[in-house]
């Protein structure tokens, strides 16, 4: 008897016998067929090289974490500069190594806290910054010549960076010593996040001006962080996130070169920012593929310096993967995602807190999130080996698959004139929204399992303690400080600096240089933004929900068919289809939830009025009345629901239209439900709500009674 080496055919026969004919191929949302077994044949011809050497597949540094771990850089900011500063000091004392600043939505959109459009937004989803004085308080006691600071800012990037520079100067730190990163990624904003201010062309000019200024004055500072994070959060597949992020980077480099900059003088200061979701190996392969693609792109664009071709990235664990239901599961999710970021070779990392599906993190949850990284670094031995998954048949094959699929999209973008033109044409946004709708449908149909949400659901949910910001108190404090700053400044000098900024915007002078001078004269963020808006205008768009994706996923599903019949019955009774306004009030531009609602309800037969972004309650009420809707679905993701939705209901009542039903959906803590019901909200749909169930509830509000158990029976 002789021993023989088993063949692949032997394994296939054994596996087929074990699973009794079940197909083990996994078709991912990216369209990749993942096999249950990978062998040397799958990586024939693939050479990932060595860490620290081109094309940097295995990492940008030869020693990677064996030499120095990634930077723990927790993204945080809330309420006032004083509150955020105290939070930063606590985190730094507890082991955090870098700062990452979250600004409130009023700041993102270029409004001072006293502007009437931002009454529900001040201090809620980040820290309010109106002037240099706020920025100085934010970094009080934090030496800016020793601390690396990352700032997530895109729309109001000019005044925020100007304030940072002046705050450093007045702390005694020259610009050349400032270390950190500004996000400054406006193409992504037009595609998914929507915290833009100006039209695309002047927005791209702003990026070039920042490249030029920082190249000349701030050699340690990263002038842009090209972000795929918000794409994945908006529903993009990992292939889409990868392709569009690299294509965005290509576009920014082209604009920098076109403005007269030497590619190798600024490209080495560009950095990236990726989301890390729950598809563990896909995320690892994505970061490896990103480095390969960026090296290829920068070589094609003419870079000579290898540092210009080296993709360095920050990562953040997914917010979308967090659940309101059974929230302690989020600790495990974040741990898994943190490990994927580490194994993929990130340079810095933020780990989300367990309560961030419903609110800003408390000190308790923030400590767990931060310590997740510290435990991985200090206790596991994971940092001792460089790229430990290098050579894995699966990981190497998956990396190459992502490179090839993303490159197809990048080539399409390039052939059609670049990412700015693609964004203007709208097809990347549409592609992402179709992917988001398909994912939502898979979750609702339990084809994709979310533990504690659509499977293993707890019978009773215990509320957890959450952080709540007193929006009214924060706004009053900010307005008082604005008034003090204006009273103390040399008004003529401030206005002269703002006039110079206006003239410079028209004359194509460097906007950041002019804004720094205005900041020194104590011009506010709103004033600096408005001076540029006088020349550039303010950009606005209305959502265009995708059609057919959600409904197509249900096909002949009896549950779906029952709801379609219900919508038709309401339509027959009314003499027209039931009409719903999906309203986005306040300055929150995250429109994934609103677009999913519009898509699902539209596919069911509702006539959907997709309201424009950034409405005030008055504007939403006026549109609801003008459109003669039956129901308003108010989408809230940024904690403005206790201010904006009650105001909307009051305005409808004042106009004699209390017959218009108001429902609310999004990131709304269960503790706030009774407050909203008392204000007149007739349906509340929190994170993880099944949209088909939500449609049944809305139909009942409109007088068509479909018992919940009837829907469940139809689903069976």
Query: Helix, strand, coil: what percent of the chain each, to 5?
Result: 55, 10, 35
Q: Which residues partner with 71 through β-bridges?
A: 348
Which residues make Cβ contacts (< 8 Å) with residue 599, sequence separation at least 6? 433, 437, 545, 546, 547, 549, 550
Residues 6+ apart with CB under 8 A from 164: 135, 149, 151, 178, 182
Could you tell me the two tokens for 500? 């110079």
Catalytic residue from among 88, 196, 229, 554: 229
User: Which one of the listed residues 112, 588, 630, 672 is annotated catalytic?
Assistant: 588
Any catalytic annotation for residue 588?
A: yes
For this structure, is 584 an active site residue? yes
Question: Among 584, 641, 642, 661, which one carries the catalytic annotation?
Answer: 584
> Which two tokens mark 636?
């809230």
Q: Is 198 noted as a catalytic residue in this protein?
A: no
Closest CA to 246 of 261, 266, 231: 231
Handedness of CA 94, 97, 101, 102 (dihedral sign): negative
Of the residues 38, 75, 393, 673, which is catalytic? 75
**With the C-alpha atoms ordered 287, 293, 297, 299, is the resulting torsion angle positive or negative?**
positive
Tokens representing 44 are 């024939």
DSSP lists the bridge partners of residue 360 as 467
Burial class from Cβ neighbours inside 10 Å (0-12, 13-18, 19+) for residue 23 reads exposed
Categorise residue 191: left if φ over 0, alpha if ψ from -120 to 50, beta otherwise.
alpha
| Cα–Cα–Cα angle for 421, 234, 712, rounded to 5 degrees | 135
Residue at token pair 């949302």: 29
**Is position 89 annotated as part of the catalytic site?**
no
Q: For residues 504 and 212, give the distance between their C-alpha atoms in angstroms, rounded to a whole number.
A: 15
Alpha-carbon torsion 640, 316, 135, 367, what sign?
A: positive
In whole angstroms, give the CA distance from residue 134 to residue 550: 45
Quick check: helix, strand or coil at residue 291? helix
Per DSSP, the three-state class of 604 is helix
For 299, 403, 417, 422, the CA distances from 411, given in Å and listed in that order, are 15, 12, 10, 12
Residue 66: exposed, middle, or buried by beta-carbon count in 10 A (0-12, 13-18, 19+)?
A: middle
Q: Tell me which of 590, 641, 642, 704 is the catalytic residue.
A: 590
- Give the three-state DSSP class for 485: helix
Under DSSP, is residue 582 helix (H, G, I), strand (E, B) or coil?
strand
The rounded radius of gyration (Å) of the Cα atoms in the chain is 26
CA distance 503 to 498: 9
Is residue 75 flagged as an active site residue?
yes
Report the SS3 class of residue 376: helix
Give me the half-sphere count of Cα atoms (radius 13 Å) on the Cβ side of residue 351. Answer: 30
| 470-476: long-range contacts, CB 8 A cutoff, minimum separation 24 | 471/119, 471/120, 471/121, 471/122, 471/123, 471/124, 471/639, 471/640, 471/642, 471/643, 472/643, 474/79, 474/80, 474/113, 474/122, 474/123, 474/128, 475/113, 475/114, 475/119, 475/122, 475/123, 475/128
Sheet bearing 631-636, strands edge to edge: 607-610, 579-584, 631-636, 661-666, 683-685
Please indicate whether residue 590 is annotated as part of the active site.
yes
Instruction: Enumerate residues 6+ apart whose C-beta is below 8 A from 692.
Output: 444, 554, 559, 560, 563, 600, 711
Q: Which has the closest alpha carbon to 409: 433, 384, 428? A: 428
Select which of 115, 124, 230, 641 is catalytic: 230
249 three-class SS: helix
Q: Which residues are catalytic?
A: 75, 229-230, 584, 588, 590
């Amino acid at each position: 008897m002789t021993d023989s080496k088993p063949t692949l055919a032997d394994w296939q026969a054994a596996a087929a016998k074990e699973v009794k004919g079940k197909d083990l191929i996994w078709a991912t949302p990216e369209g990749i067929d993942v096999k249950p077994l990978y062998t040397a044949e799958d990586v024939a011809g693939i050479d990932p090289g060595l860490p620290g050497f081109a094309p940097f597949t295995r990492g940008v540094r030869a020693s990677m974490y064996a030499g120095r771990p990634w930077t723990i850089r927790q993204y945080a900011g809330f309420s006032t500069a004083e509150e955020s500063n105290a939070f930063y000091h606590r985190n730094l004392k507890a082991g955090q190594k870098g700062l990452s600043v979250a600004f409130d939505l009023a700041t993102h959109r270029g409004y001072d806290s006293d502007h009437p459009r931002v009454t529900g937004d001040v201090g809620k989803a980040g820290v309010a910054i109106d002037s240099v004085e706020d920025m100085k308080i934010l970094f009080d006691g934090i030496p800016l010549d020793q601390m690396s600071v990352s700032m997530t800012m895109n729309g109001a990037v000019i005044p925020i960076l100007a304030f940072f520079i002046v705050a450093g100067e007045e702390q005694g730190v020259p610009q050349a010593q400032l270390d950190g990163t500004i996000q400054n990624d406006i193409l992504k904003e037009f595609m998914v996040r929507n915290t833009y201010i100006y039209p695309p062309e002047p927005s791209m000019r702003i990026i070039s001006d920042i490249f030029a200024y920082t190249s000349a004055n701030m050699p340690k500072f990263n002038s842009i962080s090209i972000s795929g994070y918000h794409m994945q959060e908006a529903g993009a597949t990992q292939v889409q996130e990868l392709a569009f992020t690299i294509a965005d980077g290509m576009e920014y480099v082209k604009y920098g070169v076109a403005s007269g900059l030497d590619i190798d003088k600024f490209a080495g200061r560009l950095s990236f920012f990726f989301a890390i979701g729950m598809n563990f190996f896909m995320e690892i392969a994505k970061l490896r593929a990103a480095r390969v693609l960026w090296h290829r792109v920068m070589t094609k664009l003419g870079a000579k310096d290898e540092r210009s071709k080296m993709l360095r990235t920050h990562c953040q664990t997914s917010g979308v993967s967090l659940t309101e239901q059974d929230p302690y599961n989020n600790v495990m999710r974040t741990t898994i995602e943190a490990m994927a970021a580490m194994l993929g070779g990130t340079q810095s990392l933020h780990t989300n807190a367990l309560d961030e599906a419903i609110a800003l993190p408390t000190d308790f949850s923030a400590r767990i999130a931060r310590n997740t990284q510290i435990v991985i670094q200090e206790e596991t031995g994971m940092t001792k080996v460089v790229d430990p998954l290098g050579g894995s048949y699966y990981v190497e094959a998956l990396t190459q698959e992502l490179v090839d699929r993303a490159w197809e999209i990048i080539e399409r973008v390039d052939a059609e004139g670049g990412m700015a033109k693609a964004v203007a044409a709208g097809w990347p946004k549409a592609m992402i929204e179709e992917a988001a709708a398909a994912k939502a449908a898979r979750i609702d149909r339990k084809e994709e399992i979310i533990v504690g949400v659509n499977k293993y659901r707890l019978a009773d949910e215990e509320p957890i303690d959450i952080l709540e910001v007193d929006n009214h108190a924060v706004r009053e404090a900010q307005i008082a400080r604005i008034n003090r700053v204006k009273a103390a400044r040399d008004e003529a000098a401030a206005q002269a600096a703002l006039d110079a900024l206006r003239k410079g915007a028209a004359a194509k002078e460097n906007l950041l240089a002019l804004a720094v001078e205005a900041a020194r004269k104590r011009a506010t963020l709103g004033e600096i933004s408005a001076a540029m808006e006088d020349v550039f205008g303010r950009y606005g768009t209305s959502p265009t929900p995708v059609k057919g994706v959600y409904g197509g996923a249900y096909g002949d599903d009896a549950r779906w068919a029952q709801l379609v019949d219900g919508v038709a019955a309401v339509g027959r009774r009314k003499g027209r289809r039931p009409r719903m306004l999906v309203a986005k009030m306040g300055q929150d531009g995250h429109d994934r939830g609103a677009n999913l609602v519009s898509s699902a309800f539209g596919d069911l037969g509702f006539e959907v009025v997709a309201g424009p972004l950034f409405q005030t309650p008055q504007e939403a009420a006026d549109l609801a009345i003008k459109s003669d809707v039956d129901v308003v679905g108010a989408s809230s993701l940024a904690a403005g629901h206790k201010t904006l939705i009650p105001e909307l209901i009051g305005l409808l009542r004042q106009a004699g239209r209390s017959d218009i039903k108001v429902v609310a959906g999004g990131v709304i803590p269960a503790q706030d439900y009774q407050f909203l019901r008392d204000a007149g909200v007739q349906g509340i749909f929190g994170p993880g709500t099944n949209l088909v169930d939500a449609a049944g509830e809305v139909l009942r509000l409109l007088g068509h009674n479909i018992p919940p158990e009837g829907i469940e029976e139809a689903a069976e």
